[in-house]
Amino acid sequence: MQFKRSLALLLGASALVFTGACSSSSGDGDGDAGSSKATSPSAGAPAKLASADLQSRWWSWTDADPEGANPIDDRDGRLCGKNQATDVWFLAGTHGGPAKRACRVPTGVPIAFPLVNRVATKSECDAFLRTAKGSATLDGKALEPERLGAAPVKGMGPGALSCGLWVQTAPLPAGTHTLRFEGSSGSFSTAVDYRLEAAPR
């Protein structure tokens, strides 16, 4: 089966469908079933997005602009604010390798990003997740990722599914924050260092 593109980004873990991975539960398409909870920087965080909604919306966000002009290809953070929604702020990984980005983010809006992820078939997702691993720290504090199994992705072709390791965290308080995340699966790896300036919209 062939899709528009398939990624092996985080922050990455992106916006093509490669047969690889991008920036990204060991389960099937059950959404959040069996996934672990991400740590939040503050109490009273908004409810997290369901697996299918989170993954489909993130891929739509990265796919809104062509290759070279989308958030996965962003080398310094200048594309961070493009096409963002009002209820969640997405961050991206890379198509492979490291990146350093500076990004202004709104206070009051939760943040979500993949450590490593991809669009693939169900069997490819299962194989991808078997070797997927990653980590994320926010202001030096570890964030626990969720392992999200294959979920349908809109606009990526018939039968397209997404899977990966994800972090959803509460809105940041105003000020400067440092976020680092990295992820890998098989021979693919990605890592991003973000300097985030949180301020009201």
Which among 133, 87, 131, 129 has a CA at the least distance from the CA of 110? 87
Q: What is the distance between the terminal CA atoms of the chain, rounded to a whole angstrom?
A: 42
How do beta strands 188-199 and 97-106 pair? parallel
Confidence class of residue 5 from pLDDT cuts 50, 70 and 90?
very low
* CA quadruple 113, 50, 153, 65: dihedral, nearest 10: -40
Q: Predicted confidence band at 158 (pLDDT cuts at 50, 70, 90)?
A: confident
Residue 196: strand pairing partners: 103, 177
Write down the pTM of the prediction.
0.80
Strand positions, DSSP E, the chain = 89-90, 97-106, 111-120, 133-138, 141-143, 146-152, 161-169, 175-185, 188-199
Any idea what the Cα angle at residue 161 is, between residues 52 and 181, rounded to 5°? 70
CA distance 48 to 67: 29
Burial 11-43 (b: 16+ CB within 10 A, else e): bbbbbbbbebbbbbbebebebbeebeebbbbee
pLDDT at residue 33 greater than cutoff 90: no
Q: For the chain, what is the mean pLDDT?
A: 83
pLDDT at 120: 94
Position 10 confidence tier, pLDDT thresholds 50, 70, 90: very low
Type of residue found at 28: D
- 91-112 residue pLDDT tens: 999 999 999 999 999 999 999 9
Q: Is the pLDDT of residue 60 over 60?
A: yes
Split at pLDDT 50, 70, 90, the class of 67 is: confident
Question: What letter represents residue 165's amino acid?
Answer: L
Cα 188 to Cα 20, 77, 149, 184: the distances in Å are: 8, 22, 18, 5
Question: pLDDT above 90 covers what percent of the chain?
Answer: 71
Decide: 141 and 123 in contact? Cβ < 8 Å.
Answer: no
